[in-house]
């Protein structure tokens, strides 16, 4: 079906034949319907415990709770490839449906590209990763999914989000290829479409990364959320390049700059998603030698090589038409901040790619087993991360093209005050680590700059049109979703960064063996062990410890860290127990226990501001949602600038520097520019 769609799509685009293109679109819809059918069949097999199906025999179990049975659909290799193919087919159908009336060859070529990717996953599904194989004799029961994956509800959320993000990145790639094949590069349509779909996928990917961190925090029991593990890096690398693209695409839309660079970012984002899937699914990470055991790795390598070659040939062919139209007007301008931002993101990506792939190269070339330690990633990425946070404050405050002295002063004085105040406060409160103090200060700077941008836009509306504040805010955001969605996302990232900096710098931990009634104290919180108990559940045996938290002699909460014993796992899976509050989390893990219940060893961590990371993540996703939401009226966006003259109350222009800024901001809002 996919092959049919490709052929029809290419043929139709070439000839400009309406009917053939229609046929191609129908094939895309049919593909989505058939993939949905396949997923439904697999889900039915899982839920009815049909152990004659190979995949069910591998991951199913009668004793697994229903929610985790559904989640096991994407828990193992074959199921995840099926799920991937399904999500891709849905994306393709959505892309085609929302652009079905668009003329030209762009969309047919994009459809063909998406279907070509679908063919790859289809080949995997019928070949190396076939989930529907039959088993005989049919076993009575299965082992159930990996215990780690049936221990927390977030496992039902994180993988689908990740796939929505990952697979979503194929849509921008498809449009890029479509634009190059059809030669509709000068037309802005492809870049507008690419930007919107990248924003959608980026939102899902951001949510997936945060959910993954949260899962790791709630399940793995070491109290952290990010370990620079290759699996984590796999999701982070395309996020970095996609973030870079979301910024640099504005330079292309507004100034006609960086066209070639943007094309490269779109392609590399897509390649990194495939590389990430390859890394996590081929088993190559445990060892280069494990790789040869599964054929699926070779398919992926071949596919990556093909994508790279195909893209390079296309880009090389269109090189002349990807030349920049505009130039930098001034060193201090929003353009140059975007350039710096992209340089940093590229360096960041390079660092993560290097650290992730280095062990593979070392083992293949020198035969030694190594891993790259977290200190490498931390020392390399910390300065870059700080610089990026700083730029997130500088960028929105700087005008396009050239800035006047008054503008600069008006824009930078408040954030600079915030920077100095927070820096002084941090040092006064005893923050000794210079990086942490600077991170807080940069975060304050960027927060002030972004909030100020929103605030000054709001104030202009309140003054000029007499709108009440909440309405002014809503209308302001509605007037330029890309811009204000971006600022909201900035604020979310700042909150995440503050949470990460505080929780890593100021965490304290203690570990003690307690008898029932005994207690330990850490940072003013007393932890009292009340009881150690055991309980048999259908799929596992649980050992738990009842723990009370006391502050000033009063019980302020109870926690129950547990260890779960699964019949199929040699070692227990811990379930740490967390009391989360805005200021700090109390995180308790049951490390060991006496089998007669006479003692338990508890590891207690106090981690300040961890919950800010999850909150910031939610803000980021909200911002992405604002930016990606389709415009209510397309007429307004396409209306000539003159149309705004209908506005009955022309903006009053106050005197002084801030007026220039405010006026500029409003003018930009009204024209719908960034």
- Residues contributing to the site for another protein (CB under 8 A): 139, 141-144, 146, 327-331, 343, 347, 350-351, 354-355, 358, 362, 368-373, 375-376, 379-380, 511-513, 534, 536-537, 539-541, 563, 565-572, 591-593, 595, 599, 601, 603
Check if the beta carbon of residue 547 is closer than 8 Å to that of residue 125. Answer: no
Residue placing its CB nearer to another protein in the complex, 513 or 548: 513
Instruction: Name which of 335, 452, 353 is nearest 391 in CA terms.
Output: 335
**Integer CA distances (angstroms), 379 to 278, 352, 373, 427, 444, in order:** 27, 12, 11, 22, 22
Q: How many whole angstroms separate alpha carbon 110 and alpha carbon 107?
A: 5
Helix axes 405-428, 657-671, angle to 10 degrees: 100
Cα diameter, the chain: 86
**549: β partners:** 527, 557
| Segment holding 69, helix H or strand E | helix 66-71
Q: Running DSSP on this structure, what letter comes out for residue 652?
A: P
3-state SS, residue 530: strand
3-state SS, residue 556: strand
Q: How many whole angstroms separate alpha carbon 397 and alpha carbon 453?
A: 7
Q: How many whole angstroms separate alpha carbon 259 and alpha carbon 289?
A: 41
Q: How many whole angstroms separate alpha carbon 431 and alpha carbon 421?
A: 14
3-state SS, residue 261: helix
3-state SS, residue 287: coil
Instruction: Name which of 473, 500, 502 is nearest 488 in CA terms.
Output: 473
Check if the beta carbon of residue 22 is closer than 8 Å to that of residue 100. Answer: no
**11 alpha-carbon distance from chain centroid:** 36
Q: How many whole angstroms separate alpha carbon 192 and alpha carbon 199?
A: 11
3-state SS, residue 512: strand
Cβ-Cβ contacts under 8 Å for 568 (sequence gap 6 or more): 143, 144, 147
Instruction: Name which of 55, 39, 81, 74 is nearest 303 in CA terms.
Output: 81
Check if the beta carbon of residue 168 is closer than 8 Å to that of residue 197. Answer: yes
Check if the beta carbon of residue 157 is closer than 8 Å to that of residue 211. Answer: yes
Check if the beta carbon of residue 426 is closer than 8 Å to that of residue 445. Answer: no
Burial 427-450, CB ≥16 within 10 A → b, else e: eeeebeeeebbbbbbbbbbbbbbb
Q: How many whole angstroms separate alpha carbon 191 and alpha carbon 183?
A: 13
- Judged on CB neighbours under 10 Å (0-12, 13-18, 19+), 305 is exposed
- Judged on CB neighbours under 10 Å (0-12, 13-18, 19+), 656 is exposed
Could you tell me the two tokens for 605? Answer: 């961590």
């Amino acid at each position: 079906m996919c092959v049919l769609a490709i052929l029809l799509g290419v043929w139709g685009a070439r000839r400009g034949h309406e009917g053939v293109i229609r046929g191609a679109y129908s094939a895309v819809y049919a593909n989505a319907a058939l993939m949905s059918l396949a997923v439904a069949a697999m889900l039915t097999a899982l839920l009815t415990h049909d152990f004659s199906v190979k995949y069910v025999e591998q991951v199913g179990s009668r004793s697994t709770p229903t929610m985790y049975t559904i989640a096991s659909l994407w828990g193992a290799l074959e199921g995840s490839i099926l799920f991937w193919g399904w999500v891709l087919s849905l994306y393709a159908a959505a892309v085609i449906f929302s652009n079905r009336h668009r003329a030209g060859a762009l969309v047919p070529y994009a459809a063909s590209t998406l279907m070509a990717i679908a063919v790859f996953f289809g080949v995997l599904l019928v070949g190396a990763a076939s989930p529907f194989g039959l088993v005989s004799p049919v076993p009575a029961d299965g082992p159930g999914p990996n215990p780690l994956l049936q221990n927390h509800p977030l496992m039902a959320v994180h993988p689908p989000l990740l796939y929505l993000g990952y697979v979503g990145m194929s849509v921008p790639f498809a449009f890029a290829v479509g634009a190059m094949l059809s030669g509709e590069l000068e037309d802005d349509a492809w870049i507008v479409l690419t930007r919107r779909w990248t924003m959608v996928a980026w939102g899902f990917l951001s949510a997936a990364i945060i959910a993954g961190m949260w899962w790791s925090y709630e399940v793995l029991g070491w109290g952290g959320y990010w370990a620079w593990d290759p699996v984590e890096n796999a999701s982070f690398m395309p996020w970095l390049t996609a973030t870079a693209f979301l910024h640099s695409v504005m330079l292309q839309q507004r100034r006609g700059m960086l066209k070639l660079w943007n094309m490269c970012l779109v392609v590399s984002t897509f390649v990194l998603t495939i590389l990430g899937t390859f890394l996590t699914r081929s088993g190559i990470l445990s060892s280069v030698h494990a790789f040869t055991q599964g054929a699926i790795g070779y398919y992926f390598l071949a596919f990556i090589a093909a994508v790279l070659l195909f893209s390079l040939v296309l880009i090389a062919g269109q090189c002349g038409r990807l030349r920049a139209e505009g130039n930098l007007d001034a060193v201090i301008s929003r353009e140059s901040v975007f350039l710096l931002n992209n340089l940093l993101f590229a360096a960041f990506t390079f660092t993560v790619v290097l650290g992730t792939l280095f062990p593979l190269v070392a083992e293949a070339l020198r035969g030694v087993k190594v891993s790259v330690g977290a200190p490498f990633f931390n020392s390399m990425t910390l300065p870059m991360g700080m610089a990026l946070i700083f730029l997130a404050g500088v960028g929105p405050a700087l005008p396009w093209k050239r800035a006047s002295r008054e503008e600069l002063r008006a824009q930078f004085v408040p954030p600079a005050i915030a920077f100095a105040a927070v820096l002084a406060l941090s040092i006064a409160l005893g923050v000794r680590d210079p990086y942490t103090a600077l991170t807080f200060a940069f975060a304050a700077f960027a927060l002030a700059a972004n909030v100020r941008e929103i605030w000054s836009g709001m104030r202009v509306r309140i003054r000029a049109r007499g709108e009440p504040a909440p309405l002014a805010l809503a209308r302001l955001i509605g007037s330029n979703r890309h811009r204000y969605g971006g600022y909201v996302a900035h604020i979310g990232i700042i909150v995440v960064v503050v949470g990460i900096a505080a929780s890593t710098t100021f965490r304290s931990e203690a570990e003690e063996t307690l008898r029932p009634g005994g207690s330990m104290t850490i940072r003013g919180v007393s932890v009292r062990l009340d009881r150690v108990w055991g309980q048999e559940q259908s799929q596992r045996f649980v050992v738990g410890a009842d723990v009370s938290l006391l502050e000033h002699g009063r019980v302020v909460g109870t926690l129950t860290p547990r260890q779960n014993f699964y019949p199929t796992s040699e070692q227990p899976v811990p379930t740490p127990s967390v009391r989360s509050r805005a200021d700090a989390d109390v995180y308790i893990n049951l490390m060991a226990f006496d089998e007669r219940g006479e003692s338990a060893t508890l590891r207690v961590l106090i981690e300040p501001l961890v919950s800010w990371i999850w909150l910031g993540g939610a803000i980021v996703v909200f911002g992405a949602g604002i930016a990606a939401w389709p415009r209510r009226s397309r007429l307004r966006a396409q209306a000539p600038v003159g149309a705004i003259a209908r506005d009955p109350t022309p903006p009053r222009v106050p005197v002084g520097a801030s007026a220039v800024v405010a006026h500029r901001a409003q003018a930009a809002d009204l024209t719908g520019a960034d």
